[in-house]
């Protein structure tokens, strides 16, 4: 399947949730993997770094569930709660292993499933909580994301000839990632060079 897609010049991504599944698709040569293995796996992080496979962990989904359960906003049978918390923690360790290995990390939402649109800033906060610098976290939603889509230099950068999609803020998220979620921090949003109402 990967070979056929390559013949047609397509990029390939898979949604995989286990170490075994992710290793298989990485070895098959996919460009990117969505979701996490649910457990620490240094060997897999090293393999993905070596192969240059992009990783879009969609951590926000599990993190949101884990937080709701920890705050008792939702209840589930204890074995399921234990499993969700263990997977969330395992995924965070996997991202730390990925950072050490040099794995290429991308911000993604698994949109259509969860969480809601417009909440990707939380994904970047989680990356910082895993040990990435705010600047590295921002790259996952800009330059590295563009690279993973096969359009480096066209999106995710401010450069001549690139699509002018950008946000002007009062406070610098490269210093404090949490200011991304402060609506009062946004001065202006541009899409393809045109202004958008930041509160619209
Ligand atoms: Zn998915």
Domain containing 124 equals 2-152
The reply to whether 142 and 187 lie within a common domain is: no
Residue 115 — pLDDT band, cuts 50, 70, 90? Answer: low
- The number of folded domains in the chain is 2
Sort strands 54-56 and 104-105 into parallel, antiparallel or unpaired. parallel
The reply to whether 15 and 83 lie within a common domain is: yes
Residues 53 and 129 sit within 8 Å (Cβ to Cβ): no
Note the pLDDT tens digit of each residue in 163-199.
999 999 999 999 999 999 998 999 999 999 999 875 5
Q: Is residue 127 part of a domain?
A: yes
The reply to whether 103 and 182 lie within a common domain is: no
Helices and strands (H, E) in the chain, number of each type:
8, 7
> What is the pLDDT averaged over residues 91-113?
93
- pLDDT for 114 equals 63
Residue of 103, 117, 88, 119 whose CA lies nearest to 56: 103
CA–centroid distance, 57 to ligand 1, in Å, is 9
CA–centroid distance, 110 to ligand 1, in Å, is 5
CA–centroid distance, 74 to ligand 1, in Å, is 22
The reply to whether 104 and 182 lie within a common domain is: no
Note the pLDDT tens digit of each residue in 4-16.
999 999 999 999 9
CA–centroid distance, 172 to ligand 1, in Å, is 31
Note the pLDDT tens digit of each residue in 18-65.
999 999 999 999 999 999 999 999 999 999 999 999 999 999 988 988
In the sheet that 32-34 helps form, which strands lie side by side, from edge to edge? Answer: 13-15, 32-34, 54-56, 104-105
Q: Is residue 179 part of a domain?
A: yes
The reply to whether 168 and 120 lie within a common domain is: no
> What is the pLDDT averaged over residues 91-107?
97
CA–centroid distance, 171 to ligand 1, in Å, is 33
The reply to whether 96 and 194 lie within a common domain is: no
The reply to whether 185 and 97 lie within a common domain is: no
The reply to whether 172 and 140 lie within a common domain is: no
The reply to whether 136 and 192 lie within a common domain is: no
- pLDDT for 100 equals 97
**CATH code (residue 124):** 3.20.20.140
């Amino acid at each position: 399947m990967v070979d056929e897609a390559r013949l047609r010049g397509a990029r390939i991504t898979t949604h995989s949730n286990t170490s075994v599944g992710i290793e298989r698709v990485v070895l098959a040569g996919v460009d990117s993997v969505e979701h996490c293995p649910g457990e620490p796996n240094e060997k897999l992080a090293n393999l993905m770094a070596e192969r240059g496979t992009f990783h879009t962990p969609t951590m926000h989904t599990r993190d949101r569930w884990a937080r709701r359960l920890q705050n008792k906003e939702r209840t589930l049978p204890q074995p399921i709660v234990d499993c969700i918390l263990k997977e969330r923690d395992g995924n965070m360790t996997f991202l730390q292993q990925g950072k050490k290995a040099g794995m290429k990390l991308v911000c993604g939402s698994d949109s259509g499933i969860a969480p809601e649109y417009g909440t990707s800033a939380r994904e970047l906060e989680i990356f910082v909580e895993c040990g990435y610098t705010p600047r590295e976290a921002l790259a996952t939603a800009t330059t590295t994301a563009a690279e993973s889509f096969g359009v480096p230099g066209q999106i995710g950068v401010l450069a001549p000839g690139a699509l002018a999609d950008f946000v002007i803020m009062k406070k610098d998220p490269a210093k404090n990632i949490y200011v991304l979620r402060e609506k009062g921090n946004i001065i202006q949003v541009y899409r393809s060079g045109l202004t958008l109402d930041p509160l619209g």
